[in-house]
Copies of this chain bind each other. A is one copy, B any other.
Amino acid sequence: MESTTPTMQGAVCPLPISQHDHIVIGHGAGGVLTLQLIQSVFQKHLGNVILKQGNDAALLRLWQEVPEGQNLVISTDAHIVSPLFFAGGDIGRLSICGTVNDVSMLGAVPKFLTATFILEEGFPIVDLKRILVSMARAAEEAGVRIVAADTKVTEKGKSDKLFISTTGIGWVNRLHTISGQSAVDGDVVILSGPLGNHGIAVAEARGNLGFHSQIKSDVAPLNGMIAELLQAVPDTHVLRDPTRGGLATTLVEIACQSKVSITLQEADIPVDRDVRSACDMLGLDPLYMANEGKLIAIIPAGSADLALETLRNHRYGSNAVKIGVVENKPAGQVLLKTPLGTTRHLDMLAGEMLPRIC
C-alpha cells in the first residue's frame, strides 16, 4: 500500500501564516502545522518573554546568569483550572504566578520558566492567544523568561480545552535557610492579605454563585514583595503560599514539617465581607479556600513589626496582618481561637471542596 503521508510541498523556511481558527489534531503532529502554531501564535504572542532558539532544548549562558555561591531552586506545577477565564485572571496568569511564587517561597529569585500546553482539538485559537498574552504580561511583571515550551493536541473529548504545566528555575544564596522546617517556638505568623478571593472568583465563573459579584481572583506574582521582605528581614524562617487546601492545610503541613504547634486568632484572619457571604452561601470555609496571590510568612518575633511594615508598603501586601504564633508543641497541631473564647483544632483538608481550582 502506498504511503499517504501528508507533506507540505514547497519551501518551508519561512513558513506561511497559519490559517486555522481552531486547534486541529495536526497541530500536535510535529510537522508544518506545529511549527506554524509555534511561530505565528506562541512566539508572536509570548513576545519578548520567550527565547526563540529553534533547538529542542534551550541553551542558557549560565556563567553569565548565575552569581557565585548560589543554589538552584526548581519547582513544577500542572494547571487545570476550570473555567480557563475568571474575574481577575486566567489559566495563563495562574500558571506563571503559581510557579514564580513557589520558587520565591524558598527565598529564590525566579529567572526562567518552561511551559507545556496540552490542547484539545477544537480549542479556539483566539482564546489561546488571549491566554498567551496574559502569560507574557505576568512573566514581564515577574521579570522571568519562558525558555522552553512544548505543545501537544488530544482528540476532542480526551482533554478539556487547555492544560498548562510550568517549571520554574531560580537562584538562592547558598546560606539561605527558608523552608517549611524552619519555624520555631516564639515565631509570629503573618498573612499578607484576605483569604478566599481566588476560590470564589472561580466558583462564580462556573456559575455556582447564581449572581454577579465584584470578587476577583488575587492571582499575582509575589517575588517582588518577597525580595523586599527578605531584604528587610533576612532571618525570615518560612514562606508559603496557601493555595490548594487553603491557609489551614498549609499551616498544618508547616507545623508537621517544623514539628511545632501554631495558634491562630480567628478575629485577626482577614476575609473580605463579600467573600465571606459567598462562602457562607456555598457552604465553604475561607480557611480552606485556595489563594493565588497571598503568602504566609513565619518570622522571628523581634522582626515581626518590620516584616508587617515592609509587606504593607507593597501593593500585594497592603492588608498584611499578624494572625498567630508558633509554640513548641505538640508537633503538627494548629489551633484556632475564636472570638467567643472557644478553641477549634484545624486539620488538613481531607476531601475536595472545589475541584480544578488551580
Contact residues of A with B, CB < 8 Å?
1-13, 24-26, 28-35, 54-63, 65-66, 68-80, 82, 102-103, 105-106, 108, 112, 114-118, 147-155, 157-160, 163, 165, 167-169, 171-172, 174, 179-181, 240-241, 243-245, 248-249, 252-253, 256-257, 279-285, 287-288, 290, 331-332, 345-353, 355-356
Contact = CB atoms under 8 A, between A and B. Distances in A.
A170 to B, nearest CB: 8
A244 B29 contact: yes
A152 B349 CA distance: 15
A149 B76 contact: yes
A160 B154 contact: yes
A335 to B, nearest CB: 14
Contacts of A241: 56
A25 B355 contact: yes
Given A54-B180, A56-B105, A158-B160, 13 more contacts: A3-B285, A7-B348, A29-B245, A29-B349, A29-B351, A30-B243, A31-B249, A32-B348, A60-B74, A74-B114, A76-B167, A77-B150, A153-B355
Contact of A3 (B245, B283, B332): B283
What 5 pairs across the A-B complex have the smallest Cβ distances? A30-B244, A31-B349, A6-B351, A57-B75, A30-B245
Contacts of A331: 13
Contacts of A155: 355-356
Contacts of A283: 1-4
- In the complex, the count of this chain's copies comes to 2
A159 B153 contact: no
A61 B71 CA distance: 5
A179 to B, nearest CB: 5
Contact of A65 (B72, B116, B172, B244): B72
A208 to B, nearest CB: 13
Question: Chain B CB within 10 Å — which of A73, A76, A351, A355 has the most?
Answer: A76
A54 B32 CA distance: 42
A55 B240 CA distance: 9
B115 A348 contact: no
A265 B79 CA distance: 46
Contacts of A35: 253, 348
Contacts of A11: 332
A75 B347 CA distance: 39
8 contacts: A5-B284, A7-B346, A55-B105, A57-B73, A57-B102, A60-B73, A63-B69, A74-B169
Question: Chain B CB within 10 Å — which of A7, A33, A149, A155 has the most?
Answer: A7
